[in-house]
Structure 1
């Protein structure tokens, strides 16, 4: 998953944190963040969970060119969820199917945020 996410992110963004279910947060400048892990978990807990009728339910789907899959966006600056085609039952999913699945992954990361990778200058 890390390789797919690296290919999905614009190379000008080098500071990001990836969570267990594929949601990641891009930081503008990770060197200005005192505790990257703590800040990433805080943001994930704030913007990751999906509640009925809340803004977390809104999403859009980005089709990727440099790797397989899609990114699902939602509220929360710099927060995206990677969805690989193998995760879906349908071989030709539409944006609604992709978005709903990605949103459920983001909700899982928001409910139980487990960091699996930190990329950037403070990748400790």
Structure 2
């Protein structure tokens, strides 16, 4: 999946009322409620990703919730860190009928990659 394809899926996955978000290379994104109060949204996103992204055994980042998307194909894996989610596309999973545990573990591994090597590929801002 290309970056532009992932960006389009994530745009469809996020509730339109949330206009300020940052997407990382492996599909993890962070929604900001009050982006207008943040001096540098990229620096803040990297800081949060480094803090909440890496998955440590027995740590809170290991917990997750899998959400099936309605407006695009795939799932969102939610977990530790307010406003932080990871997009998982069906083509990324080998099993054609994955269960929530498989999807969640895969999404968590993508989030771990983003946490250890955060690379922003897209920023969406509300232009008030």
TM superposition score category, shorter chain reference:
over 0.9
Unaligned runs of 5+ in 2: 1-5
- Please list, as runs of the form range in 1=range in 2, the aligned pairs for 1:5-16 lying within 5 A after superposition: 5-16=10-21
Deviation at 1:29, TM superposition (A): 2.0
Indicate whether 1:69 and 2:79 are aligned. Answer: no
Unaligned runs of 5+ in 1: none
Deviation at 1:75, TM superposition (A): 0.8
Q: Equivalent residue for 1:55?
A: 60
Superposed CA offset, 1:23-73 (max 9, x none)? 000000211110111000000000000000000000010000100000000
Compute the RMSD of aligned alpha carbons.
0.8
- Deviating above 2 A after TM superposition, structure 1's stretches of 4 or more consecutive aligned residues are none
Flag the 1:42–1:23 CA change in 2: closer, same or farther, 3 A. same
Deviation at 1:94, TM superposition (A): 0.2
- TM-score norm. by structure 1 comes to 0.97
- TM-score norm. by structure 2 comes to 0.94
